[in-house]
Chain A
Amino acid sequence: MDPDLIDRAGRGDTEAFTTLVLRLGDRLYSVAYRILRDTGRAEDAVQQAFLTAWRELPRLRDASRLEAWLYKLLVHACYAEILQTRRWQPGLRPVTDHDPGPTTDDAQLSVARRDELERAFHQVSGEHRAVLVMHHYLGYSGAEIAEVLGLSPGTVRSRLHYAR
């Protein structure tokens, strides 16, 4: 990430910050969706994370930590989204445009398995979901997750174990 870009954004340059949004937005959204399993709420969480980042960016000590910091802000925004709306998730996962749907027995099993995961995922807390997503989707190690979320490695390990 371009340190000059981050510096300019920290000085109130909205164009520079918009560039950061364009560069990082997709990745953050991907993570938010996978934690929240809802596109609208994921958009809200990403928006919240970026606006918090904009507001607090002048205080960021180390520009090289921007991305990790953004993930932290995003995860906290996701926690807030989860707390706001505690509702029972319907058992059937909605079919979306990118879901080809089952065509074979294996695929049907896969759909059932996915539904099972969806249900189970919604029963897990935001903190556990975040750790699962960061490890299994982003590929972060336990130590990396601990650093980003400000947790001890032990806590990360236990959350991963519990969530799985």
Chain B
Amino acid sequence: MTRELDFDRTLEDWLAEGPSQLPDHAIDGIVRQLDETPQRKHWWLPGRGGVNLLVPTLAGAAATGVVALFALGIYFGNPSGVGGPPVSSPAPIPSASPTDQQSPASTASPELEGRLFESERYGYALRLPDSEWLVVERRGEWGLGTTFDQDGPGIDSLLRPRLADYPFEVYLNSQLLPEDTTFDAWLSQYDELQRETFPHCVTEGESGSAAVDGEIARVGTVLCDEDGDQWFVTESLWQHGQRVYSLRVAEGHDWSLELDTAAESELWLSRITHSD
């Protein structure tokens, strides 16, 4: 016993020796890399600080592997701030400037009217509501058999960076459907993967459907509950040609079960056309 105590004392004395202050250059090295290291947000989790990670400078875009950025000058100007039929739920976007109430024809610059964001890699086009919107295309591919990760490869993120109070987060991704797999089979596998990976997100109500440029999307909303934080996410899934598409609309971080993500999804779906 005494021998053990002697050993412990010696060991502890020995361990007590040595540096105990992290050098300044090491601290600087950590801090310097923070901006270059994206935080891995849970894909169901409302983005936290996501805008500052995705809002571009060209140098920043290159650093994060962003393929392309588009800012388009389409503005639809209905009271909700997005085009399409009026929504039944309270407009999520607060009242904007008086010009927001005017028709697109009177406010849009002639050379910008009718211009769309076009995704060459995924074969779709998206009519963006106004010139404030950006689409950030992340490099890489959404791998078969993997979950939809809003921080993952291949994501198209829709951002309105100067309108901090747009309360939704909107993402789109696409992958090729294997030739020997039907869309229903793909859906079945995908649903199972989602359930396994995100047990804290449960389906809310019955799934519905929505038209996407002649295709029918399955639209489902989940309620996620993590550490007392709750939020809705609506996902729309459809097939066009040999591709499957997923559009995600989630409540932003400052909102909790207050927003109609399904209605917002329908508005975005109505703006999508397929390129072929």
A binding-site residues for B, Cβ under 8 Å? 10-14, 17-18, 21-22, 25-26, 28-30, 33-34, 37, 39, 42-43, 46-47, 50-51, 54-59, 61-62, 96, 98-99, 113-114, 117-118, 132-133, 136-137, 164
Contact = CB atoms under 8 A, between A and B. Distances in A.
Contacts of A50: 30
B29 interface: yes
B14 A12 contact: no
Nearest to A42: B19
Contacts of B14: 113-114, 117-118
Interface in B228-255: 253
Given A46-B22, A133-B15, A164-B7, 14 more contacts: A12-B53, A14-B31, A18-B34, A26-B22, A29-B20, A33-B19, A37-B18, A39-B19, A55-B40, A56-B39, A59-B40, A114-B14, A137-B15, A137-B16
B22 A98 contact: no
B30 A30 contact: no
B30 A51 contact: yes
Interface in B1-46: 4, 7-8, 10-12, 14-23, 26-27, 29-31, 33-35, 37-42, 45
A13 B22 contact: no
Given A51-B30, A59-B40, A29 B19 contact: yes
Contacts of B39: 10, 12, 54-58
B52 interface: yes
Nearest to A114: B14
A155 B50 CA distance: 40
6 contacts: A14-B35, A30-B19, A37-B18, A51-B37, A117-B10, A164-B4
A26 B226 CA distance: 32
Main secondary structure of the interface of A (DSSP, over half): helix
B15 A21 contact: no
Given A12-B49, A17-B34, A117-B10, A26 B21 contact: yes
Closest 3 CB pairs of A and B: A12-B49, A11-B48, A25-B22
B29 A47 contact: yes
Query: Quick one: which of B35, B45, B49 has the most chain A CB within 10 A?
Result: B49
B148 to A, nearest CB: 16
Contacts of B48: 10-12, 58
A62 B19 CA distance: 31
A37 B18 CA distance: 9
